[in-house]
Amino acid sequence: MEIALGLFALAYSGLVLFVLASSLRKIFAPMRAALTAFAISAAVHGVTTLLIADSWRLALAFWGVPHLLLLPLLLWSAHRQAGAA
């Protein structure tokens, strides 16, 4: 069950980060859009995990680890987009 939840968290984090970065690219440069998307998503999910007092460490790992795993891919994609422009 934990593996399925981990895969869900990774997929959801990827969807949120890349859709948010894509939306922000309309007003920011690709690298700034990627970093802003990461900051917004990390802040929202960080506040959400702080509201869960019982298992905040598990919740932080549930959202923090996938975000950190996807950050290099997000930055690489932004770098490629900035180079193509």
Provide the H-helix boundaries in 1-85: 2-24, 30-51, 56-84
C-alpha closest to that of 74 among 28, 36, 26? 36
Spatial separation of the C-alpha atoms in residues 5 and 51, rounded to whole Å: 20
CB 44 within 8 A of CB 20: no
pLDDT at 47: 81
For 17, phi then psi, to 5°, come to: -65, -45
Give residue-wise pLDDT tens across range 6-49: 788 888 888 989 999 999 999 999 999 999 999 999 888 878 77
